[in-house]
Amino acid sequence: HFAYLSFTLAAAEDIARENPHVRHVSIFQNWLAPAGASFDHLHKQVLGVDTWGSGVSRRLDLLRQCPAFYNDVILETAKTRGLLLAENAHALALVEPGHVFPTLAIYSKSAQSDPRRMRDAELRGFSDLVHAMHAATGSRLACNEEWYTRPRSSEQPMPLHVLIKWRVNTPAGFEGSSQIHINPIFPSHQRDQVLEALKRLRKTGAIAAMDLGEECLCEVGCLKYDVFHRNQKL
């Protein structure tokens, strides 16, 4: 999986280098037809686009107002609600509420916002948790894998992270008109399901070594992407 992740990053680098009009490289993966694949196959795309898009722009606007958002809000909420899944020296995985679909999130702890500048050990640790979340999800569940990286045309720090969204529900008219989305799986139920699978996989050696559930320390400020901002406050 680390070779697969490295190949993906190399492709993104090639696209950005060869086309001066690319402002951001979008990376995503669809698995099974309900997740948008034209037929049941592993469908990864790496696309150069000439705009950030509204999703990336909203995240960057939020981080300008609250640089420590991912540490102070996302991680603290996960700790308070007991939604931590796995952790190693370089990354952290959790159930992340607030999305249209039940979502697993994997965050890099690296101080680097740009994956090109990360050490191999950092990328391998991140890859280990992405692989583990897919292994725990299983091959029968349709899902999207979305990558979030800081656009190279922006200086605003943002942690490298991946969201794995389970396509178990189909938004329809009610959701479209009201923008109220009904999640069919409680975050705590998703946590229990994934943790059970992770423990089984770890016991059999099918995933890399990592802390699981209550073993995760998730120390304050463990996502180092905003370390410059924290140093400025000091």
pLDDT, tens digit (0-9, with 9 covering 90-100), for 87-100? 999 999 999 999 99
| The pLDDT of residue 233 | 52
State the DSSP code for 85: E
What Å distances lie between residue 232 and 67, 73, 154, 228, 229, CA to CA?
12, 20, 19, 6, 5
| The pLDDT of residue 234 | 44
Query: Which residue, chain included where needed, has tokens 């959701």?
Result: 175
| The pLDDT of residue 30 | 92
Where the chain has pLDDT below 50, the residues are 232, 234
For the chain, percent of residues with pLDDT exceeding 90: 78
Tokens of 103: 């979502």
| The pLDDT of residue 36 | 84
Nearest alpha-carbon partner for 162 in 172, 149, 180: 149
